[in-house]
Structure formats: structure tokens, C-alpha cells
Structure 1
Amino acid sequence: MKHLYIAFILIASTSLLAQNANTQKADQYFNQYEYVNAANAYLKLVENGKADGYVYKQLADTYFNMFNTTEAAKWYAKATMTKQDAETYYRYAQMLKANGKYEEANKQMQQFANLAPNDQRAKTFKENPNYIPKLFDVSKLYEVKAGTFNTDKSDFGAVLNNNQIYFTSTRNNSRKDYGWNKEPYLDLYQADYNTDGTVVNVRNISELNSKYHDGPASLSADGNTIYFASDSFRESSFEKDKKNNLKLGKNNLFIATKSQGNWGKATSLPFNSNDFSTSNPSLSNDGKTLYFSSNMPGSLGGVDIWKVSVNADGSYGKPENLGAKVNTEGNESFPFIADDNTTLYFASSGKPGLGGMDIFQADLNKGTEASNLGKPINTEKDDFAFTFNKAQNIGFLSSNRNGNDDIFEVHAICNVDVLTAVTNAKTGAILAKASVSILDDKKNVIATEIANDKGEVSYKVDCNKSYSILASKDGFESNSFEVAKSKGGTTTIAAALQPIDVIVTETEIVLKPIYFEYNKSNITQEGANELDKLVQVLKSNQKLIILAKSHTDNRGSDAYNLSLSDRRAKATAQYVISKGIAEYRISGKGMGETEPKIDCKENCTEEEHAANRRSEFLIVK
């Protein structure tokens, strides 16, 4: 059903004239937008052996208009066995992508590009034909979960305003079915959104709905003004197509205001026309700009995103096309302007996507190219009508990823950008190519990167969690830096590393004590930082051979302490070897409690015990 609100235009590019007497009935259904009946009629021609390239293309376009991607791709494959227009190859590629067949889609895009080399979609494809892997790598910005107020009918276009959800649906089974897809006509609905996230009291907005299609809608910040799309038939505005026995209306935009809790009469906006459609409104938070989709003159493609100023006296400016940074020769629709009045979200089938319609984001102030939001916002199917309420920190998107147009909840993932700048603690000089790791609150390493020429590494982490940064570089003492919990934004860590300054005598290398936890032999983070200094000395003096002696305190039996100290000595040696030092250059020996640093016997304090649990490094050669 969302295709109605891309615009009231034929998505197929075939002639309205029947090809021959055999296809006359099927073509009539097609031209009257009765696609279910059209598909059945064309299939009968196939069954009776009366199909050719024209019938296959019409059948493919029929399924394309109903977004039956499997059947559309099947019949486009047959249609393209004979020569077709460029747009047919583009639609075929879209249907293949919608089924996850990206390599096959690229082949059809190449055919499209050959036939329409000046089309911006073709140019974009040629510049980066293998863009799909990059879309999979887009940082995950949102969590998506199924909405709780969907039905087995089409539900889409949800927007949250002052704890009220407004959306569009075909759930009203008392309504007449529409020939496009045999579902009832669209109505506007309203529901209550509770603070616990539940949605209740879903109800039809009867005072706004007509007997034709109505919705989607957008509301002013105070909730007292509503803009919505509806058929021009509600004002008896249409053109007659006598040949096909049709009354051809357009999508129009309407406005209504609330008085004493009730919506007043809806009035048509002054820039509506019988010559083109206007739909999918989105009003800026300050109420000064209305964004919408239209195929009015000046559009770059089938349907584009436009904007118009809303003046204080209720009048409107001249509609403006948002240009090539947003629009393409394909279809762009379902705009949503964020609360900041500068971030625009919209759906596009013309920009590089995963398949069908994808949701994009554009910064209107910067005027840069719109970016694809990636998964899980986008899928291989149609994804559209993205809205987000910053105050409630919840949004909605619509998608047929499960086979039917449904509304999904969108929850923003809170991220913190941790920017680490590594410098020399003594001189302040930048330390390029330093190793920078980020660790979770349990000291598990999440990722490790090498600093750029500015000594910088950036990580994106979750909000409201503690992290730490571990920075290291040859010739400097490794050090860790705490990253405090944050609610978002950027946290900058100044990682100043001390140059290694180790005392080397004729008999030993003097480091700070390599302490161990009581009754353990694993290397601690503090111990590792100190042992890195030893590694640097050994790398700088290739002839040095070292004996690591490990000692315990006097608690426990002599035999146990000797075994424990031996494990500590070997753990110390193994750490140094793991950093690239040859195995023959360092050995370890456990001394137990035989050589205490402080001979305190049975009256040792905890500090004295800790001093005795140590390692020493003697120069053997």
C-alpha cells in the first residue's frame, strides 16, 4: 500500500494501449490499477501459450507494483530475454536485491548503466558497484523490534506526538476493497502511548477520514494542527479517462486544526494540482517548513522530496525541490524532519541500498550526500516512513520485511566516542603508531588499534558503562587510563606515556617490584606494564641474558612456596618471551621464601608480605 503514497503515477513505463486483442482485458485491469486481477489475467495468457516479452514485462511490472519481489524477479528474468527499456533492468535489479541476490543484481545494474549512462543512479553504481559490504559495516545506531499494534492488514506511517501515535492502516474491514491489492481503503488511526511503552486505545479518526485513501499524517509540536495526505476525490477533483472507464484522482495534502478537542474541516493546500500528486507530509518542529513528496514539475525522478515555507499568516511559499543530494531519477518519499529542523530522514529506491526502499539520513545544513542508515533499519525489502521522537527516545519505521507492511519500534543506541591522544609525558610530543586498546569494566580487551599520525585512536562504546584505555609504545612505559561513564557525546583521553628509564647495573636490571596477588602466579596489569620496560631493555641490548628470580612471602609451607614462586618465575619469563624476546635470553627460578626482602619472620605486616612477593632480574651475561 505504500506505493500509493510514493505518488499516484504508473510505476510501469509501458504504453496504456493494449498490445493486442489477447492482452486487452489484462491491460485494462493494469491500467485501472487492479493489479491482483491483472496478474491473474496475464498468467492465463502464459498458461495458454500466448505470452511474449510484452506479457512477461507487464506481469513483472504488476508484481513490482504489489512488491511481490519473488514473482517480479521471476517474470523480469523472462522479460529481459528480449530487449527492454533501461528502467526495466533497474527494476529487475531492485527485485533481485530484495531477494538478497546482489551479484545478479549487479549484472542487471550494468545493463541499466549501459542503456542510461547519464542517469545519476548509473553513475553512482559505476563509481562503487560493490557497495553492499560497506552498508553491512555501517555502525548500528538503532535497535528495531516489532510494533505491538499491527494487524494482518497494511499498517504504516506511525508518528508520535504528545503521547499520541498517529498512523495509517487498511484494518477497517467495513471499508470497500481497493483493486490495487484487494485490501480496504486506507484510514488514519490514533492510539495512546503510555510511559511504559505500551500502546492502547487504537481508534479510527473518523472526523478526518473520507471514503477514499487517507494518511499518512504529520502534526504540529502542540498537536493542534495536522497535515495529511488524501485522495483528491474527497473534494470531487479528478480527471476522466473514458477509454479505460476511470476517474483519475491524485494524492493531495490537506490541513485541519483542532478546536475544543475535535478536528475541524480539512482543507486542501493551495499548491495541490490535478496535474501531479503531493503526499507524505512532515512539519518541522518550529512549524515554519513543510516537507513532502511529489512528482510535480521540476522533479528529478518519479517522485522527489520537496519543501515549502509555512508563513505566520497561514499562507505558503513556493515549493522547492531538495536537489540532487537527496533526490534521484528514482523515487524518494516519506520525508521526516527531526526536532533539530536540520536532519532529514527519507526513503529512496534510487540511492544505493540493500533492496527495495531504504531509509537515508541527510544533514540539510551541511548539504552533504545522504547516508544509508544500514542494518537493522534497512533490509532487503521495503523500509520507509522513519520517524523519531527525541523527547521520548523512541521512533517508528515501516517495513514489509515480514511479508506485510508493518510498523516497527525504533530505539536509539546510546554511544560514546572515546578519542585517545597518545603523547610523550616529558616533552608533550605526539606518539604516532602507538598501540591503543580499549577494555571493559572487567579488564577484557575489546579492541586494539594503532594510533594515526596524530597519535589518535577513536572507539565507539556504549553509554553509561565504564571502560579503560591501555596505551603502549616501544621505548615508553605502558599505562592504563580510566574512561568514566558517560551519557553520550565524545570523551577525550589524554594518554601521556613516560619514556622508559630503567636502571641497569653490572649485575641486575632494576625495575619496580613485579608484585603478585596473594597465592596467585598470574601477571597483573601493573606487573605487565613494568615487565614491558624489561622487554625494551632486552630489545635494545641484544646480548643480555637474564635470570628472573621469583620470591614469596613466608605464609604457607616451604614446599608450597617454592612451587608457587617457581610458577611465578616461569610466568614472568613467559610474558617476556611472548613480547618477542628469544627464549634462551630469559629463564626463571623460584626461590620460595628463602630470600625475603624484609626478614620479618612471623610478625610481618600485609605491606611487608607484599614486598616479599616479588621478582628480581639478574644479568647472567
Structure 2
Amino acid sequence: MKSSIITFIMCLSLASVAQVAFEGKGETVDSINTSNGQNYLVLSPHDRSIAFTEERGGAPNSTELYTSQQQTIGGESRSILIFSDWLGEKGMLSPIGFTSDGLYYSQVTFDKGMFYGKVKYITDGKDKDVEIPFLKNKSPIQSGCLSKDGQYMILSLEANNSYGVEDLYIVKKKVDGSWDRAKNLGFQLNTEFQEVTPFLAEDNRTLFFATNGRGGQGGFDLFYTVRQDESWRNWSEPVNLGTQINTTGAETSFAYIDGEEWAYYVSSQDSDGYGDIMRIKFKEEIEEDTTEVVESVLVKEDVKIETPISIVLRVVDAKSGEKLPAEMIFGDSKRIGPNGLFEIDSLTGDEVELKSPGYLPTVIMLDEQLQPGENMIKLSSVAKGSIITLDHVLFHRGTAEMVEGSEKELNLVVEVLNDNPNIKILLKGHTDNTGDPVKNVQLSDARVKTVKAYILSQGINAFRVTGKGYGGNEPIASNETEESRKLNRRVEFEVVDD
């Protein structure tokens, strides 16, 4: 098809790279830290304010959003704003970022078994909700940052299209001053684990964040990455900030102001312990981009409009690669694919379920992780003897408490048990080989009991589900590195009867 259009072409390289370096080790900011935990720190680029959340036990006893005080840090007077995290009520407030005359913050509440996250804005003593279309956070925590120019907000939350638990999302301000919907920053950054406490540097390209999904020194490590284009989904490989900052504990909430000597962050030597605010001497250099920028305008002419390349999902057996008859379920709709093929005409960011008789279903997102052309969707057989690892059933460190969102994959197990009433399964819990072997067996057994209890709570008969914890006795990978040890920490199920 031909059409007359005016075309504007711009070739702009984003090849420059941030170089991050530190001097010495981090030091505690003793004038701020208390016996309560400090978390979710943000700095104001407009004045010398610091805001953070402080953990508090019990229920909220005040309608006050935050307390304010003056502190002298390194000889400089700063305004300190302290928000409250009421652990007893599973509710929290956390600052997102400052404007020249106000402050954005997150609020998470818990009601009738569900968490609800929103963004709010306070200015001149007036507090109002920030309208972000379709914003939904199912996690008990929510953190974020605001760009210095106020045009971008990056949020850490768990939505229906998250890759695991908390993911990073971009929210852009539109020309009319309203906010657009939150969009996932993509699989190059987000993992099946947690990505939290983002910080966007003043170049609006260099992004710092904390994650427990990329190995490192401890529970959470701090990383940085550089945005490569305007899609906000193409990022450089995240770089660990190194042992000058990251420890065997958990490090989060890295932030700094351009031109200032110190960067700030939150550190805990125990991932289940309290956080302290730290600072470290910091230097960031942006390499100059010498790539020529070419702009040209083509006059009105007839051009051929190419038909977009379609995206095809091919459902196959995970072991043999053979095509499977399948169905695709999205919302209340269903499509049948006798030969396992489904053509996708738009990437909506929505979730769809793909299933085939005798196989464990899977859920995928219709987003940019799908490539033009054919995409293989592998399903695992639930025939007798099959062993399937539940990659997205996660637990809080050192406990048998499931991470919020693990129910997604367990619901698929429940679904396959309902669809195949003769199937019986053995749940198997595993750890790596670090720590006390006896305690590892006890922990893996406790986690199996948690998973079993959830499956039974969904109406599955108890005689169909048994379980056992194996500790570190059945590794599937080396225990020499954190990356391979991570593979050994797993819950799986074996089909013992079909």
C-alpha cells in the first residue's frame, strides 16, 4: 500500500556510558539513624532535604504523614522528613521524590486480605491522590523515584504483568500535566525476584536500583544501568556497585545529587535486620558522546508502507519440541490452536494463559520480550515420573514464608490437578549446601508444608499431595558460586501417579 506522508528522520546515538567510582568505604550517618530501621531514602535536588521511611511497630497512632527536623550532616544543615512504616498493620508510607514546591510519596494499605498501593502528592499542606491509569500494586511494599525535571517517575511494584514480584515501571508525564500508565521496564532489568528502590540520575538515563535477583554480595545488592534508547526497555547490562558498598547484608536506596561529594544509601548487615543510612564519597563521569547527530526532513512523497512482521506463539513439549494442541486464555476469552500456533497482532502488555491437556499451563505477557516471528512456548508434561521445578515459588530469606506473588504459579499447579483428577504429586523442597545441614532439611520441609497448605486451601484433596524436605542433599548445580547455588534453592513436584 502507498501513501503520501512527510517523514522526519533523526539519528541520535546514546552510546555514552556512566563511569561510577567511590573513595573508601561507606560510613554511617549517626545523627539520623535510630534503633528503628531506616529505609526508602530519597534526596531533594532542589534544596538540602532528605526523606526516608522509619519502621514502627503496632498500628498507626497519628494522621501525620511525616515528622520534620533539622540535622547537621558533615557540617551542613539539612531538613529531615521521616515517614512511618507501620509493620503491625502491614501499611507503609515511603517518599518518591521532591518537586520545587512539593513531594510525591507512596502509600500502601492492607484491607480484606489485599494490599493496595497508590501515589500521592503533598504541596502547601494539601494532600491529593495522583491519578495514574490502571495502577495496581499487589505487594506490601512500594518504592520509587522522581526525575529532577519532574517528567518521569519510576516505581517498584507488583502488577499483573510483573516478571516475578516487585518490578520497575516507568510513568511519564504527558503534555497536559497528567501522568500516563505505568509501563514495565522490561526483562533486561527485571527478574523473577525483587527490583526495588530505583534512583534516576539527572541525565534521565543512568538508573540505580537494588535487586536480589542477580547474585552479588548479599540479600540485596545495588546495581546501575544506562538506558540505550527512548523505548525505556533497552538497557545496558546492569553493573554491580562493588564491595565498597555492597555487603553480605542488604543494600538499597542509593541516591546522590549532581555536584555533591557524597552519595547516600541504606545498608543492613543482615537481610532480615534493620537498615541504617550510610554515605560514601562518590564520583560519576559521563563519557562524552562524539557520535554525529544527523537530522533530515524528507519532502512529501509517495512511500510504500510495509506490513508489520507478525508475532507467532508456538506451543511445544518442553523436552521433545513437538507441537502441542493448545488453547490461549485471556480474560473471559479463549482461542483454540489445534496445531499449537497463535498469531498475535498487538503487544498489549496483558497476561495470557497457554495450556494443553496433560501439561502444566504457563502464563506469559504480551510485551516486547516476544520477538517478531516465531516464539517457542515450552510446556512441561505431567505424566507419571515427571519432575517440574516451580521457578516462581519464592520464600523470604531464611523463612518458610512465601514471597507475595508465588501463588501465581501454585494456582497453575492447582489448575492441572483439577483438570487431571487422577494425578497425585510429591512436593520436594531443596536448599543449597551452605549453613547447618540439619537446619537446611528443616527449612526445606517447612517450605514444602507451606506450599502444600496453599494447594489444599484451594480445594485439592490431601491424599493427592504429599511432600518432603531434602535440604542440600540433591543439588542440580554446583554450590561453588552464588549464581549456581541459586538453582539448588528450589521447590519442585514429582508426578507419582497419573
- More helix, by proportion: 1
TM-score, normalising length: structure 1: 0.37
Structure having the larger proportion of residues in strand:
2
